[in-house]
A = this chain, B = another copy of it.
Amino acid sequence: MKLGIDIMGGDYAPNIPLEGTIMALEHLPKDVDVVLFGHKEQIESYLNNKNIHDNRISIVHAPEVIEMHETPASAFSQKINSSITVGFQHLKADNIQAFASAGSTGAMMVGAMHVIKSIEGVIRPCISSLIPRPDGKFSIIADIGLNPDCKPDVLYQYAIIASKYAQFVLGIKQPRVALLNIGSEPEKGNLLAKAAFELMKDSNDFNFVGNIEGYDIFKDKTDVIICDGFVGNIILKMGEGFYSMLKKRNLTDDFIQKINPEIYGGTPVLGVNKTIIIGHGASTAVAIMNMILHMHKVVHAELVEKLKNAF
């Protein structure tokens, strides 16, 4: 297995992505190689300085950087030597089995949607996030911002996609799937939630357990939380805001630490033909390491193949 990593992406590139990659290699199985996309000399000089000689590492020279302020679509197509553009070419050619970056989210989405494309039958891909629970486990929430205006059938598909993720990546046998809503009763909600409930209630595609409300988000009530990208994005960021507020006020413990968005180091794009992970721009080396280990887990679980079979 070959995992592609963008070394030029993120606020602290190239050193932090390199440091995170080296850390990840200590945890990855011996038969997993990493392919680094970035400025070759810079990477080599970093590795030589650290006296790192690992034959699992190879480098693809891609010195350009798509900056955060650039228009993603035009930067992606014009900067043909950028780490992200080159990374996607290698992903499409199957030289690597997955690609991760803490760089421009917009450019990553251009690559995901226009180079790798949706799995046949998937109306709209989504992005997701893991939500920690006090019972030590995680729920997955989708969508968290890719698709702010969803139709009910799109939410239905998100339930299939996120349920497969929970099953094969998180290892939950029959993941409970819930719709995020403003009441527990079936008739509650906005037009979208009501229609989605109707579609989901008798589903054989996943284990639907009904509506959950805002106070249930961090509880052991469900394994999968489905909502549109507008709601998902706002609550995810509200959680991040809460985390920083608590940190600032020194109100933290082991569980609160897990809400730290940086420790997951990556959001998988789900419903596309390859494994793609988008990291936080402010990723630390630990976040980069976790992003790479997460990517390995998703590839190892053969999630993309499982999703192709499901549609």
The interface of chain A, by Cβ under 8 A from chain B, is 134, 145, 148-149, 180-182, 189-191, 193, 213-219, 228-231, 233-242, 244-246, 249, 251-253, 255-256
Contacts and interface: CB of A to CB of B under 8 A. Distances in A.
A241 B235 CA distance: 12
Nearest to A180: B234
Nearest to A240: B215
Copies of this chain, whole number:
2
B233 A231 contact: no
A241 B217 contact: yes
Contact of A149 (B148, B149, B190): B190
Contacts of A235: 214, 234-235, 238
Contacts of A228: 190
Contacts of A246: 246, 251
A252 B250 CA distance: 10
Given A213-B237, A215-B241, A215-B244, A230 B182 contact: yes
A216 B191 contact: no
- Most chain B CB within 10 A, of A191, A228, A231, is at A231
Contacts of A180: 234
Contacts of A219: 241
B255 A249 contact: yes
Given A214-B241, A218-B245, A148 B234 contact: no
Nearest to A144: B182
A236 B246 CA distance: 18
B213 A234 contact: yes
